[in-house]
């Protein structure tokens, strides 16, 4: 099988929600700030599409395609309150003319107005989704199936997807992305020593791993930082999903346990709980490149990449690729994690600094 991302999308009836390929940019001001001689690239999956952008759009291209092929009229999915996947599902369903119902679980211990009303939750409402809140200790997917029964009773045709859209269908989005990266490497004349992503529901890492395997390329170049599950559980989920993605879609190649490389050092106290390294990573990339990471996923994974670069994991002249997965609306639910005092200065009309 030739690793052609457009042919894969066409074969599976994927809809179009973002521009392909997403751009790859070299981050030279960040390189200079680190001063290690390592070449750092960012793949802009955060800006290439609708709804504020982000990695879930690649999965949703295949999931919405599948839903439409099955004649479904309502997209039902799950996540945490500040789920980027939920927000992009709402945007994608609107774009494709489907209804959208979101079952959002209260999994992060936050009770303030920012977390419970701003960021992704504000956008869910603007995109017109119906939001169901469930307590953190209930299984949101079980609730989604109950909700789907009720919709069927009303004559609707629901399509139910679990958190993160990380099914063997959704993961095809990152199989296509892996092939896109191989094409872009060839065009750039560059070879990335490592391709780094966050790992939440495992679909991004699993899809990239499956894509590399199907193309006969080195699977271990793809490495992720677990931000949700323990690294052991993330490893088991990623391996199982990579294998299921190859098998369910009749793709060649295989992924073995030793080829799935996951680092658990950046998760901190838990999912959705800020770390100091995340804050430093978000601010460093913002202040050197004008680019935004998010507090839950990409800020933590990028902190891990920074630690690896600073710790000498790469030779000068080696290149690394960071896949920017989006999630920027999450910043508005995490105001307290960032230091606003240092920038909150106002100037008098004569240019002298006045008290903030």
Residue 83 catalytic? yes
Report the residue number, 264 or 318, with the smaller CB distance to ligand PLP: 264
Q: What is the dihedral of CA 254, 23, 128, 86, to 10 degrees?
A: 30
Residue 2 Cβ vs ligand PLP, minimum distance, rounded to whole Å: 25
Taken as a whole, the chain contains a residue count of 356
The answer to whether 15 and 61 are in contact (CB under 8 A) is yes
Nearer to ligand PLP, 151 or 245 (CB): 245
Q: Which of 83, 167, 224, 298 is catalytic?
A: 83
The smaller minimum CB distance to ligand PLP, of residues 320 and 328, is found at 328
Looking at the Cβ atoms of 53 and 65, the one nearer to ligand PLP is: 53
Residue 165 Cβ, how far from ligand PLP at the closest point, in Å? 8
At its nearest, how many Å lie between ligand PLP and the CB of residue 330? 7
By CB atoms closer than 10 A (0-12, 13-18, 19+), residue 286 is middle
- Shortest reach from residue 347's CB to ligand PLP, in Å: 35
Residues that bind ligand PLP (CB under 6 A): 54-56, 84-85, 164, 166, 198-204, 294, 297-298, 325-327
Shorter beta-carbon distance to ligand PLP: residue 168 or 198: 198
What is the Cα–Cα distance from 43 to 39, expressed in whole angstroms?
13
The CB-of-206 to ligand PLP minimum distance in angstroms stands at: 8
Which residue's C-beta sits nearest to ligand PLP? 327
Q: Which is nearer to ligand PLP, 203 or 231 (CB)?
A: 203
* Nearest-approach distance from CB 296 to ligand PLP, in angstroms: 7
Catalytic center residues: 83
């Amino acid at each position: 099988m030739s690793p052609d991302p457009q042919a894969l999308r066409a074969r599976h009836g994927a809809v179009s929600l973002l521009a392909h390929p997403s751009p790859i940019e070299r981050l030279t001001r960040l390189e200079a700030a680190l001063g290690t001689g390592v070449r750092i690239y960012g793949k802009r999956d955060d800006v290439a599409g609708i709804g504020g952008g982000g990695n879930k759009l690649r999965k949703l291209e295949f999931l919405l395609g599948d839903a439409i092929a099955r004649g479904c009229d309502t997209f039902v999915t799950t996540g945490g309150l500040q789920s980027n996947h939920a927000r992009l599902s709402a945007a994608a369903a609107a774009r494709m003319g489907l209804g959208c119902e979101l079952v959002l679980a209260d999994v992060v211990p936050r009770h303030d107005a920012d977390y419970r009303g701003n960021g992704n939750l504000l956008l869910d409402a603007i995109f017109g989704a119906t939001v169901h809140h469930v307590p953190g200790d209930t299984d949101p997917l079980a609730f989604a199936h109950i909700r789907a029964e009720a919709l069927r009773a009303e004559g609707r045709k629901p399509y139910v997807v679990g958190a993160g859209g990380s099914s063997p269908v959704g993961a095809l989005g990152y199989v296509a992305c892996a092939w896109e990266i191989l094409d872009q490497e060839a065009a750039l004349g560059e070879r990335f020593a490592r391709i780094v992503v966050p790992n939440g529901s495992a679909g991004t890492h699993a899809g990239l791993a499956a894509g590399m395997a199907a193309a006969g390329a080195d699977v271990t170049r793809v490495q992720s930082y677990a931000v949700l599950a323990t690294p052991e559980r993330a490893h088991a989920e990623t391996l199982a999903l990579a294998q299921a993605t190859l098998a369910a879609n009749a793709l060649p190649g295989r992924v073995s346990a030793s080829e799935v490389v996951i680092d658990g050092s950046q998760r901190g106290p838990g999912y959705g709980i800020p770390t100091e390294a995340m804050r430093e990573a978000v601010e460093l990339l913002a202040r050197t490149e004008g680019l935004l990471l998010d507090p839950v996923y990409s800020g933590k994974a990028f902190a891990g990449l920074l630690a690896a670069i600073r710790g000498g994991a790469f030779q000068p002249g080696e290149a690394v690729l960071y896949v920017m997965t989006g999630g920027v609306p999450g910043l508005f639910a995490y105001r307290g994690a960032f230091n606003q005092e240092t920038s909150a200065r106002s100037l008098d009309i004569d240019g002298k600094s006045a008290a903030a």
